[in-house]
Amino acid sequence: SGGPDDMPAEIWEKVKNHPCYSEEAHHHYARMHVAVAPACNIQCNYCNRKYDCSNESRPGVVSQKLTPDQAVKKVLAVASEIPQMTVLGIAGPGDSLANPKKTFDTMRMLHEQAPDIKLCLSTNGLALPDQVDEICKYNIDHVTITINMVDPAVGEKIYPWIFWNHKRVTGYEAAKILHERQMLGLEMLTARGVLTKINSVLIPGINDEHLIEVNREVKKRGAFLHNIMPLISEPEHGTVFGLTGQRGPTAQELKAVQDACAGGANLMRHCRQCRADAVGLLGEDRSEEFTLDKIDEME
Ligand code: SF4
Ligand code: SF4
C-alpha cells in the first residue's frame, strides 16, 4: 500500500524502493547518474549541447564526462561510501542510446559487478526500438522516454532535426519519424515488462494543451508514470528555443496541465531534474565529493 493515485500493486512493489518514484523512498534510498553518453542524435530547440541533456536533467549544468571504466569505478566507490545507493541511471549528458557502446558497456559491467544496484536510463526514444534487446539483457528495469508531442505538427516546432539512417532529416518528416519511434519503443518495452516512465517538457504556447493528449496516448501504451517538467528557460544557460527567447511555464501553468491530466497516466510530481552526474539522496547533490581525482585518492 502507499502507492500514488491508482498505481497497480504489482508496479508499486517494484518501485517502492526507488527514490524517484516513491515519495517515501526518496528520504532513505540514494541514486546516482553517470555521464558516459556525450553524443545526441536529435536536436531539441530547448537544448544547448554544451550542457546536460534535458531528457532527465536540469539544463545549464556541465557534468564530468566519464568512460565506462571510470563510471563503474565511480559507482563502486559511491556504493561503498553511501550504503543507501540503490539506483544507477544514465541520463546523458547527451542521449544514452545515441551512445550504445558506452551505455551498454557500463550497464554490462555493473550488472556483473554490482548486481544489487537497479539500473535505469533515459532517452529521447529515436534509437530505442533497436536497443530493446540490449536493455532486457542487462536487466535494466526502468526506462524514461522524453515525449513532448504525439503530433508531428507540434513536434516540428520542438525538433529542428534528427539524425536518422546516416543523414539529417528536418521539419515535419523528422518529427513524424521521432514520434513513430517513440511510440514503437514504448510499446516494445511495455510488451517486455520493462517499467517505462515518460518525461514531457512543458513549453508554453507550443505543447501545453497538447500534453493532455500525450498523457492519454502514453497511458494507453502502458507508461506507468508521466512526469511533466517545466521548460527551464535561462538565456545565460543557453536555453534559447530557436532565437525567440521562449519562456518557461509559471508554477500555476504547470499545475494546470498536471491537474488536467489527472485520471490519465500517473503523474510524478517530485522529480528534481537532477544533473547527469548527480550523487546521493534526492534533493542533495554530493557529486563534488566523487569526482575522478577524489575517487583515485580513496583507493
Ligand atoms: Fe539536447 Fe537531450 Fe534534446 Fe539531445 S535529446 S538535443 S541532448 S535535450
Ligand atoms: Fe529521479 Fe528525476 Fe532525479 Fe531522474 S532526474 S534521478 S527521475 S528525481
> For ligand 2, what atom is nearest to the CA of residue 197?
7
| pLDDT grade for 29, boundaries at 50, 70 and 90 | confident
State the amino acid at position 141 in one-letter form.
D
Q: Is 271 in the pocket of ligand 2 (CB under 6 A)?
A: yes
The pLDDT value recorded for residue 58 is 62
Answer whether 51's CB lies under 8 Å from 62's CB. Answer: yes
Distance 41 CA to ligand 1 centre (A): 8
A 10 A CB-CB count for 117 gives: 18
Best probe residue, ligand 2, of 282, 284, 285, 287 (max atoms within 8 Å of C-beta): 282
Q: Each residue of 148-202: pLDDT tens digit?
A: 999 999 999 999 999 999 999 999 999 999 999 999 999 999 999 999 999 999 9
Judged against a pLDDT cut of 80, whether residue 22 lies above it is answered with no
Q: Is the CB of 47 under 6 A from ligand 1?
A: yes
Say how many Å lie between the CA of residue 186 and the centre of ligand 1. Answer: 18
Strand-pair partners of 207: none
Distance CA 190, CA 31 (A): 24
**Among the ranges 139-148, 151-160, 242-251, which has the highest mean pLDDT value?**
151-160
Q: How far apart are the first and last CA of the chain?
A: 42
CA distance 44 to 50: 13
CB 176 within 8 A of CB 49: no
What would the pLDDT profile of 271-292 be if each residue is shown by its tens digit?
Answer: 666 777 777 776 677 877 878 7
Rounded Cα distance, 194 and 143, in Å: 7
Q: CA-CA-CA-CA torsion for 257, 260, 266, 268, nearest 10 degrees?
A: 30
Is the pLDDT at 3 greater than 60? The verdict is no
Distance 165 CA to ligand 2 centre (A): 31
pLDDT at 51 over 90: no
Cα four-point dihedral sign 178, 200, 85, 59: positive
Q: Which grid coordinates are listed for 261? A: 491530466
ipTM of the prediction: 0.84
- Determine phi and psi for 200, rounding to 5 degrees: -130, 135
Residue range 101-110: mean pLDDT, rounded: 96
Q: What angle, rounded to 10 degrees, do the helices at 251-260 and 210-220 form?
A: 40
The one-letter code for the residue type at 94 is G
Atom number, ligand 1, closest to the C-alpha of residue 48: 1
**What per-residue confidence (pLDDT) applies to 243?**
44
